[in-house]
Amino acid sequence: MPETYILDTNVFLFDPQALEHFPGSQLLIPLEVVEEIDHFKHDSTETGHNARQVAHLIDRMRGKGSLRDGVRLANGSTLRIVADESAVVTGGDGQAAAAILRLGKQFQEAGLAPVIITQNVNLRVKADALGLDARDYEQAPARDTNTLRGWQVMEMDVAQLEMLRSGQPLRQFQGVLQPNEYVYAKLKGQAKVACCARYYAENNELWPLADTTRVVCGIRSLNVEQTFTLDALLDESIKLVTLAGKAGTGKTLLAMAAGLQQIFADNRYQRLLVFRPTMPVSRDLGYLPGDLSEKMRPWMQPVFDALDFIRSQDKKCPARTLPNDVMSCPEISVEPLTYIRGRSIPNQYIIIDEAQNLTPLEVKTVITRVGAGSKIILTGDPEQIDNPYVNAYSNGLTRLVDKFLASPLSAHVTLMRGERSELAETAAMLL
C-alpha cells in the first residue's frame, strides 16, 4: 500500500515543486492549506511567487479529473484536496494546522498511517502528542559547511614543502581534494614551517599561492582562512565564491574589499552590486518612511559599515585605491534581493550577504541571474538563521556549497577564526 502524506502550507512556500518529491504516494492537501497559500499570492517576495506557482499548478491538475476524488500525477502519486464540510473555513491563524491534525486523526482511525510533512516545528510536536507521525520536508540530505570547509591542513615531507615554498607546483598530486580546494601545507613535526596552496583539478596539481601578503584597499588577511578567501575573491577564473563562518570572521568585509579593488584599481568589473535579504533579527519595525533607499538603509547598514571601514583603511595607504566619494559613487549599488527576479546582470561583482536566510529555490533564482563576465559571492552563517522555513542543513547557502563542491567554476571557504575584536570572538565562543 502506498504511503499517505499530508502536506502543510510551508512545504509549498519553500518548494513549489514539492509534489514531485513523493513518487508513488497518496498526497493529501486540506482545503485550509489551499486557503492559506492563497493569502500569500500578492506578496512581491519569493514566497509570493511560490504561492502563485503552486496555485496555477494545482489548477492545471483539475483538467485531469476531480481533485476531490484524486488525480494521478506523472510520478505515480495521487493528489487529493480534502475538505471537511463540517468545519467552517475562516482563514484565521491556525486553521491549516488544525485541519492537518484533524485529517491525520481521521485517517489514523480508519486504519491508515498518514505522515504529516511540515516545516513547522510546533506542528510536529503537536502531531507527536496526538500519536501521529510528522516529519520535516527535506529534498535530500546536505552536508553542512563545518564539514565542507573548502580547505584542509596537510603534513608534507621536506622535499614537497620546499618545492611549494620555492613557487613550484606539486604535479600528479596524490590526495583527495576538490577543484579549487585550499591546503595549508606544513612540515611534519614543525607546524611553523608551512605554505598555503590551491588544488587545480584539471591538471591534478597543487600550486602555492603567489601572494599571501597582498593589501586590498587597505585590508590584509589576518589568518590562513582569510588568505584563502582573498585568493578566491581575486581570481577572475572563479565565478562563484561561497563564504561561511560565524560573525566577525570577515566574510562581508573581505568580499567588499576585493570587489572594490577589482572595480577601481583593476577595471575588471563595472559595478559592485550588493544584495541582502530583508530578514529581521528581532521584531520588525513595520512600515518605514521614505523612498526605497531610505527604507532599505536599516537592512543595509552592515554593508555601509563595512564600506566605511574599508574607506578608512584605504586612506592610510600610501597609494589610495578608492575615490573620496566612494560612499555615494555610482559604481556601488546596494539593493534588496526582492527585485532580482527577471534581471540579467553582466560584468558586475555581485555580493549576496546573509545568504543563509535564502531557500534553495531563491539561491537558484539568484545564481541564474548572473550574466557574462560577472562574479558572484554568497556569504552567511548557517548557525544564525532568521528565516523560519530553513535550517542549518536545508538553507540555500549550505545546499549551494554542497552542489558546487566539484565544480571548477566555484570555490568555498569556511572561516573559523573571528577577527572583529577579542570581545566579539569571546562572545561567539561562549554565548
Least confident stretch, 25-39, 88-102, 114-128: 88-102
What is the three-class DSSP state of 345? strand
How do residues 39-61 score in pLDDT, each as one tens digit?
998 887 778 888 999 999 999 99
Q: CATH 3.40.50.1010 spans which residues of the chain?
A: 4-135
User: Could you give the CA distance from residue 378 to residue 351 in angstroms, rounded to a whole number?
Assistant: 6
Strands 170-171 and 205-208: antiparallel
Residue 88's pLDDT is what?
46
How do residues 144-202 score in pLDDT, each as one tens digit?
777 889 999 999 989 999 999 999 999 988 888 999 999 999 998 777 789 999 999 99
Where are the strands (E) in 160-265, listed by range? 170-171, 182-187, 190-200, 205-208, 240-245
Alpha helices in 265-344 (DSSP H): 292-315
User: Could you give the CA distance from residue 79 to residue 77 in angstroms, rounded to a whole number?
Assistant: 7
Tell me which of 3.40.50.300, 3.40.640.10, 3.40.50.720, 3.40.190.10 is the CATH number of domain 214-430. Answer: 3.40.50.300
Q: Concatenate the DSSP letters of all residues of 57-105 into one string.
A: HHHHHGGGS-TTT-EE-TTS-EEEEE--TTS-----TTHHHHHHHHHHH
Strands 240-245 and 410-415: parallel
Q: What is the mean pLDDT of residues 417-431?
A: 77
Residue 39's pLDDT is what?
92
299 pLDDT above the threshold of 80: no
Least confident stretch, 108-112, 138-142, 257-261, 318-322: 138-142
For residue 332 the three cell numbers come to 556601488
Q: What is the mean pLDDT of residues 124-150?
A: 85
For residue 23 the three cell numbers come to 513518487
Average pLDDT, the chain: 87
**4-135: what fold?**
Rossmann fold (3.40.50)
366 pLDDT above the threshold of 80: yes
Q: Which residue from 252, 202, 226 is spatially nearest to 356, judged by alpha carbons?
A: 252
217 vs 86, more confident: 217
Least confident stretch, 309-313, 316-320, 423-427: 423-427
User: Could you give the CA distance from residue 109 to residue 130 in angstroms, rounded to a whole number?
Assistant: 12
